[in-house]
Chains A and B, each alone.
Chain A
């Protein structure tokens, strides 16, 4: 593809009339096509309750390795696969392992000690730092050439409708968990909903700002904090309303609303993944998280003939062969979903001709525990698929109890965000893992 002299020239070459120019020039995707930036993306997929290590990790090390049962669905992507055995969540402090496994997974930093003041109920204790996906998102959003409408999108499936340390892994800052959207219709609405109502909303946002200012003068200094945040949210929303590629993108359709129930998890997963693919194609965001249920997730995979809940099963001892078999099936099912996502990305060419979408996307599949019944935070499952971050793929790597903060650093570096510390700096010792 030739380099166009300017965006204006590029638009001209498409034969678009001058009247449409100001509008078109705001389109993120066209702007990018002109500047030839690679659209790097990261998708973090979470599934809960640890894995069955012997059925998960390849025995061999290096580029000659065999996939075990759980990862067998990823066979077609073996050359684009990187398994990282021996990377461990070293963060200690408050909370049980399920809590820390979740809250420190992407933040790499301790949980606050039940600081959301414990009354008659369990104190919450959110993570005390930002998560890596949000860190990278902020980095991408700070540069015009990588800015997108949402920056990041947080998907979920079957996430219980309660906010606590077990249900949140994404943090926009210390004490600021981000809730995943687990209703495909709500996600569709977020992506495309306000298109026809943009004008009505835009016209009242100034009024809302004015009202906030009025109210602000009537409350105490301390209470203003919330109103200031409110004001910032209004401004941020205003930016989202700016015209974007969505305006000439085909809006996906969804079947009638499904109940957010256990048995609908397979269908909801498919719907959410398809929406994510749409969002990728429309370049709404570069960073995605996909959260299956939650830490201590209790999905009952009746569709696999498994009646017991996942977390209950994960407590069974290794000697319980039936449980091991069921857990292997459960984890294989999660892997199949990831394989579906990878396949779709691999089948979709980048609009600017830079290979397939999988070539520019890295999927990171992870978990809050290494193994369910021991609740260990050693050997946390970290499996990467795709070429988004420029790592050398097609390998099975084995580390020796290496802090996962270093992997989080590698993700940032993959995007060119050269931070030297992330989360608890005591675990960032030798810098990013060398994966290239």
Chain B
């Protein structure tokens, strides 16, 4: 496979420049048209739209921008313009106006050219801040062991007392946190009355928020999470009847937490126990096996202070603005961390610490900690400023540690990464944020200190190492969920009359099934086109009884190949279909907007006015498709719905909960649709499968996904790195066989490139004939 190196990138960039130049300077035949378009525009359009399409306050205020192709734009102009005299221009005249407008200011490309986006000076987002803090602590006490393929916890059953005369009699990997001692004895060699059972390993938090753990037990049981000394649930005293204890804890998505469940029997009758959880906005149930591993992890410091949400109006979270609420949250979180650290320093410092009261020793660890936060080695001056100054003046040790911590976390250098330092230091700071949302580790800091992090040859192995880290894998999963628009989740409950079976348990299983399907594309470098084309879906017995797949009722979640093109990658996934639907019916509009914006990368304006959907009662006998077509038939609506509807209708084979259907209210489902590409070609689809065939080969889709990947990971506009970047990175994706990690290598190099090499940087003035 050909990999893009830097010189290839430059070549490609030159090729794109040439391509653009040829577009920028229409050929002679075209230029006549262009000139005509310009004249017509200036005489007939400019008085309402402004001479450069900027809008005119008393007529049409909005700037004339959009992403219709020239052909579509020409047809809109012909049909509707000028106001009051539609169709007064000939189709040819309309086409010449369209071509002028499109080139000068209308198209997304012209918009970028006329005001090229810039890299924005940014602070850490709240999420990056929380992840960085968690990783900061691991600098001193080590990181979690990498997970193996095997899922489940290590379960040990032993005779005797755990710390005294323990004799292990059984050891295996197990994910069922339920145990009942029945007659006859499950393990013959164990004394009936005195035994221990312990599950240990790590738990991965799938989303950020407050989790509740519920322990039901008749024997002495303790549950430890993220702290092996202080149990989260202490049920060492239980009544002989089952007793329930629960506790909550704040966990951060993608972090791994030490997990130990310890129980022992001492003559209690009917010994049994079970541990379940209730994840944020989820329902109580067993902890899924995929979040458990028989590995070890040190304590992970979790910030639970709530931050105001970061601005995500451009499609990705970014830290380009600050507010009073943000600053307060920052200070409170620093206090929260400082208190955790200072009240129990032993927990956050290495085991080999000789004497935790030895000030010099503690200062040493604090220095390591601050250096990690600043992403560089500390100078003597730094040591004085950040460490030594706070350990004098008779301050208690606890307060000194706290002050160092608060200062480091609120320090501008930590908050505004890659602002100061050498190029090497800036590079590792940027890469760590991009791929881990966190800090560079000691290995990277050392590379930067040796100035071995600035050429592409030096950067490649650094990036490659980062892409092997579980933090990248989890960020990639977050990306896919965000790309599909389901990241934050919502309550999907459906009409009880129509979909009685769609209970919270089904909803939660479907979400899990979607995540498993996406993990096929995070854990390995599978061909990304499979996201649109795979004929398989993950189902368990219960889901299968509603969504097909022919599984036994008790079957665990497995990957099932679906017949008759019912499964079309994630596009047909029931969770997604239920997400983009009303509570009682499908919604071609939501599904069409999803496809247009997220998958095809189109820009759509929000509706001018909120519209009341036509209800089924007021339009009896119409199918959903017919109702939507009727509702959006107005000329104003059609400017966007001409794109949205024919895409959304293709999903009509899936009802409001994503079940496949061929009929709706007695009428056969019409799932045909169409799309006009941004080069103006009309494509027709008979069903979702045909749409998916179009998507996998569409350069628009490739550019949309690389752009969104780049912006999600790097939190800066891609065009700020060169207007040709979407095209270049889409090429990189194609050249690498649609594998994500090689693409990410190239993205990493773009992020580290010293100056944007935009072909337009020098030619800000659009060339006109």
Residues of chain A having any CB pair with chain B under 8 Å:
93, 95-98, 113, 116-124, 161-164, 172, 176, 178-179, 181, 183, 186, 189-190, 193-194, 197, 199-201, 203-204, 207-208, 211-212, 214-215, 218-220, 222-223, 226-227, 229-230, 233-234, 236-237, 256-257, 259, 261-262, 298, 300, 307-309, 312, 315-317, 373, 375
A98 touches B610 (CB 8 A): yes
Known: A113-B62, A194-B331, A257-B248. A308 touches B583 (CB 8 A): yes
B313 touches A124 (CB 8 A): yes
B interface size (C-beta, 8 A): 74
A197 touches B339 (CB 8 A): yes
Segment touching A, from B87-95, B408-416, B457-465: B408-416
Nearest-neighbor residue (CB-CB) of B119 within chain A: A223
Nearest-neighbor residue (CB-CB) of B308 within chain A: A179
Known: A207-B385, A223-B121, A317-B615. A189 touches B327 (CB 8 A): no
**B130 in the interface (beta carbon within 8 A):** no
Provide the bound-state CA to CA distance between A18 and B338, in Å. 36
Segment touching A, from B9-17, B45-53, B595-603, B636-644: B595-603
A230 touches B609 (CB 8 A): no
Nearest-neighbor residue (CB-CB) of A302 within chain B: B493
B493 touches A96 (CB 8 A): no
**CB-contact partner of A118 in B314, B402, B416, B704, under 8 A:** B314
**B618 in the interface (beta carbon within 8 A):** yes
Known: A208-B410, A308-B583, A315-B613. A215 touches B419 (CB 8 A): yes
Nearest-neighbor residue (CB-CB) of A189 within chain B: B332
Provide the bound-state CA to CA distance between A240 and B618, in Å. 58
B583 touches A312 (CB 8 A): yes
Nearest-neighbor residue (CB-CB) of A375 within chain B: B610
Q: Beyond A120-B603, A186-B306, A204-B390: 7 further Cβ-contacts under 8 Å?
A: A113-B61, A120-B707, A123-B606, A163-B310, A200-B335, A208-B407, A300-B493
Contacts of A197 in B (CB 8 A): 335, 338-339, 402
Q: A-B contact count, CB below 8 Å?
A: 178
**A182 CB to nearest B CB, Å:** 9
Nearest-neighbor residue (CB-CB) of A198 within chain B: B335
Known: A116-B313, A118-B314, A120-B707. A230 touches B412 (CB 8 A): yes
Contacts of B281 in A (CB 8 A): 259, 261
Provide the bound-state CA to CA distance between A433 and B419, in Å. 52
B314 touches A193 (CB 8 A): no
**B128 CB to nearest A CB, Å:** 16
B597 touches A200 (CB 8 A): no
B407-441 interface with A by 8 A CB criterion: 407, 410-413, 416, 419-420
A122 touches B606 (CB 8 A): yes
Segment touching A, from B318-326, B506-514, B755-763: B318-326
Contacts of A201 in B (CB 8 A): 331, 335, 406
Provide the bound-state CA to CA distance between A222 and B248, in Å. 45
B314 touches A116 (CB 8 A): yes
Nearest-neighbor residue (CB-CB) of B608 within chain A: A96
**A131 CB to nearest B CB, Å:** 14
**CB-contact partner of A259 in B210, B327, B335, B608, under 8 A:** B210
**CB-contact partner of B609 in A164, A215, A300, A375, under 8 A:** A375
A233 touches B327 (CB 8 A): yes
Q: Mark B153-175, 1 if CB is under 8 A from A, else 0.
A: 00000000000000000000000
Contacts of A262 in B (CB 8 A): 491
Provide the bound-state CA to CA distance between A212 and B311, in Å. 23
**CB-contact partner of A120 in B61, B390, B402, B601, under 8 A:** B601
Contacts of A259 in B (CB 8 A): 209-210, 212, 248, 280-281
Provide the bound-state CA to CA distance between A127 and B146, in Å. 47
Nearest-neighbor residue (CB-CB) of B313 within chain A: A124
Nearest-neighbor residue (CB-CB) of A186 within chain B: B306
Provide the bound-state CA to CA distance between A164 and B308, in Å. 12
Contacts of B335 in A (CB 8 A): 193-194, 197, 200-201
Contacts of A96 in B (CB 8 A): 606-610
B325 touches A179 (CB 8 A): yes
Contacts of B554 in A (CB 8 A): none
Contacts of B385 in A (CB 8 A): 207
Contacts of A229 in B (CB 8 A): 322
Give 4 closest A-B pairs by Cβ, nearest first: A223-B121, A124-B313, A121-B315, A119-B314
A190 touches B406 (CB 8 A): no
Provide the bound-state CA to CA distance between A234 and B248, in Å. 33
Provide the bound-state CA to CA distance between A396 and B598, in Å. 50
**B566 in the interface (beta carbon within 8 A):** no
Contacts of A113 in B (CB 8 A): 61-62
B306 touches A97 (CB 8 A): no
A237 touches B327 (CB 8 A): yes
Contacts of B61 in A (CB 8 A): 93, 113
**B328 in the interface (beta carbon within 8 A):** yes
Contacts of A203 in B (CB 8 A): 390, 403
**B399 in the interface (beta carbon within 8 A):** yes
B289-347 interface with A by 8 A CB criterion: 305-306, 308-315, 320-325, 327-329, 331-332, 335, 338-339
Provide the bound-state CA to CA distance between A162 and B485, in Å. 13
A190 touches B610 (CB 8 A): no
B684-713 interface with A by 8 A CB criterion: 704, 707-708, 711
Contacts of B407 in A (CB 8 A): 204, 207-208
**CB-contact partner of B419 in A194, A219, A373, under 8 A:** A219
**B123 in the interface (beta carbon within 8 A):** yes
Known: A215-B420, A222-B121. A118 touches B327 (CB 8 A): no
Provide the bound-state CA to CA distance between A96 and B608, in Å. 6
**B117 in the interface (beta carbon within 8 A):** yes
Q: Mark B247-283, 1 if CB is under 8 A from A, else 0.
A: 0100000000000000000000000000000001100
Nearest-neighbor residue (CB-CB) of B338 within chain A: A200
A121 touches B597 (CB 8 A): yes
Nearest-neighbor residue (CB-CB) of A230 within chain B: B322
Task: Name 21 interchain pairs, CB-CB below 8 A, sorted by A.
Answer: A93-B61, A95-B606, A97-B609, A121-B312, A122-B313, A123-B313, A162-B312, A172-B323, A179-B323, A179-B325, A200-B335, A203-B403, A211-B412, A212-B412, A215-B420, A219-B121, A233-B323, A233-B327, A259-B210, A315-B612, A373-B612
Provide the bound-state CA to CA distance between A4 and B248, in Å. 52
Nearest-neighbor residue (CB-CB) of B606 within chain A: A122
Contacts of A164 in B (CB 8 A): 313
Provide the bound-state CA to CA distance between A387 and B374, in Å. 54
**CB-contact partner of A176 in B320, B323, B403, B410, under 8 A:** B323
**CB-contact partner of B412 in A116, A117, A208, A309, under 8 A:** A208
**B496 in the interface (beta carbon within 8 A):** yes
**CB-contact partner of A121 in B313, B321, B389, B493, under 8 A:** B313
Provide the bound-state CA to CA distance between A97 and B611, in Å. 10
**A284 CB to nearest B CB, Å:** 14
Query: Considering residues B407, B412, B612, which has the most beta carbons from chain A within 10 angstroms of its beta carbon?
Result: B412
Contacts of A190 in B (CB 8 A): 328, 332
Provide the bound-state CA to CA distance between A379 and B547, in Å. 48
Nearest-neighbor residue (CB-CB) of A113 within chain B: B62
Contacts of A204 in B (CB 8 A): 390, 403, 406-407, 410
Nearest-neighbor residue (CB-CB) of B386 within chain A: A207
Nearest-neighbor residue (CB-CB) of A312 within chain B: B583
Q: Mark B116-157, 1 if CB is under 8 A from A, else 0.
A: 010001010000000000000000000000000000000000
Nearest-neighbor residue (CB-CB) of A199 within chain B: B399
A97 touches B406 (CB 8 A): no
**A125 CB to nearest B CB, Å:** 9
Known: A189-B305, A200-B338, A259-B281. A230 touches B327 (CB 8 A): yes
Provide the bound-state CA to CA distance between A123 and B322, in Å. 19
**B488 in the interface (beta carbon within 8 A):** yes
Contacts of A208 in B (CB 8 A): 407, 410-412
B201-218 interface with A by 8 A CB criterion: 209-210, 212
Provide the bound-state CA to CA distance between A307 and B607, in Å. 28
A194 touches B332 (CB 8 A): yes
Contacts of B327 in A (CB 8 A): 230, 233-234, 237
Contacts of A194 in B (CB 8 A): 331-332, 335
